[in-house]
Amino acid sequence: MTVSLMNNTVANDQNTAASSNIVYETKQMNLWYGANHALKNIDMKIMENEVTAIIGPSGCGKSTYIKTLNRMVELVPSVKTSGEILYRERNIFDKDYRVEELRTRVGMVFQKPNPFPKSIYDNIAYGPRIHGIKNKKILDEIVEKSLRGAAIWDEVKDRLNENAYGISGGQQQRICIARALAIEPDVILMDEPTSALDPISTLKVEELVQELKKDYSIIIVTHNMQQASRISDKTAFFLNGEVVEFDKTDSIFSNPADKRTEDYISGRFG
């Protein structure tokens, strides 16, 4: 497969634990924004080919946590961390860990669709081009495969040269998912990817997430508890920067172990 050419070296380098099905392991991880202790002693194991949902009230640290997984959070100058996050058994906080490699393995989709002001084609070809792929035929293949993977090929195949701003918000979000797929990631992080979408587009993205977990590991922040219960295998309930409970989604929603989880999922706060 042509697409995998671009990150073979990275996969060989960092996928030493090919047999392990733990993708990420967070161990006693803390994060501060200046004096604000935003994540406290986080312990989590994220498994391969699962959808892991992160729920919890506004400000509890959900976005901070997933932005830590690809080290995007360190763009904020006041950030300090402690503990470990192992990605494929290597601590991403290690001084010699190459963040560029991590970014080629971990794609991210944001709350508001954020396509580039470029054609649909160029949005998808952007990452592969950065990785040095220039061959038009190979790029064509990557673009088609990624758009198919994001379940939007049929809708845009005749308008690949149109600006991505010209399509609906729901379509733009699937373009952003296709853009993430184009680098052949291992993990896809999604931060409330449907909160700006209408119900039909939301359903399409939810179906897509279910489809994508066959090939990827997905971590999705969602405000919507029905969504978490519909699409995830595991759910973590965050509160004030702590993981109150992390378990199989069925257990979290039908038989939560912690009173605070029960109060939250039954709508008593948040």
Ligand X SMILES: Nc1ncnc2c1ncn2[C@@H]1O[C@H](COP(=O)(O)OP(=O)(O)O)[C@@H](O)[C@H]1O
Positions that interact with Mg ion (CB under 5 A): 63
Q: Quick one: 184 or 245, whose CB is closer to ligand X? A: 245
Based on CB atoms, which residue is closest to ligand X, 56 or 128?
56
Q: Output 62 or 90, the one with its CB closest to ligand X.
A: 62
Shortest CB 98 distance to Mg ion, Å: 27
Q: Residue 216: which of 254, 177, 255 has the closest Cα?
A: 177
33, interface contact from Mg ion, ligand X, none, CB < 5-8 Å by kind: ligand X
Distance CA 225, CA 253 (A): 9
Residue with tokens 């099905």, as numbered in its chain: 21
Partner whose footprint covers residue 76, from ligand X, Mg ion, none (CB < 5 to 8 Å by kind): ligand X
- Contact stretch for ligand X (CB under 6 A) within 7-15, 31-39, 149-157, 206-214: 31-39
* Among 6, 23, 29, 38, interactor with ligand X by CB under 6 A: 38
Provide, rounded to whole angstroms, the least separation between the CB of residue 265 and ligand X: 16
Nearer to ligand X, 186 or 191 (CB): 191
Binders of ligand X among residues 44 to 83 (CB under 6 A) are: 56, 58-64, 76
Task: Take residue 202 and report the two structure tokens written for it.
Answer: 């939301």
Closer by beta carbon to Mg ion, 125 or else 221: 221
Query: Where do runs of H (alpha helix) occur along 94-241?
Result: 99-105, 120-130, 136-149, 153-156, 169-181, 199-212, 225-231
Please give the size of the binding site for ligand X, defined by CB under 6 A: 12
Which CB, 121 or 237, lies closer to ligand X? Answer: 237
Find residue 190's DSSP bridge partners.
109, 220
Report whether 223 contacts 192 (CB < 8 A): yes
Distance CA 113, CA 60 (A): 23
State the amino acid at position 133 in one-letter form: I
Question: How far, in Å, are 33, 61, 85, 154 from residue 93 at the CA level?
Answer: 16, 19, 7, 41
Residue 223 beta carbon to ligand X: minimum distance, rounded to whole angstroms: 9
CB 234 within 8 Å of CB 249: yes
Instruction: Give the closest residue to 174 by CA, choosing from 111, 219, 113.
Output: 113
Side-chain half-sphere CA neighbours of 63 within 13 A? 11
Q: How far is the CB of 111 from Mg ion (least distance, A)?
A: 7
Which range touches ligand X (CB under 6 A), out of 10-18, 30-38, 84-92, 244-252?
A: 30-38
Distance CA 65, CA 71 (A): 10
Binding ligand X (rule: CB under 6 A), the pick from 33, 116, 126, 153 is 33
Complex with ligand X: residue 83 or 210, whichever CB lies closer: 83
From the list ligand X, Mg ion, none, which binds 55 (C-beta under 5 to 8 Å, kind-based)? none
Q: Report the interface residues with ligand X, using CB under 6 A.
A: 33, 36, 38, 56, 58-64, 76
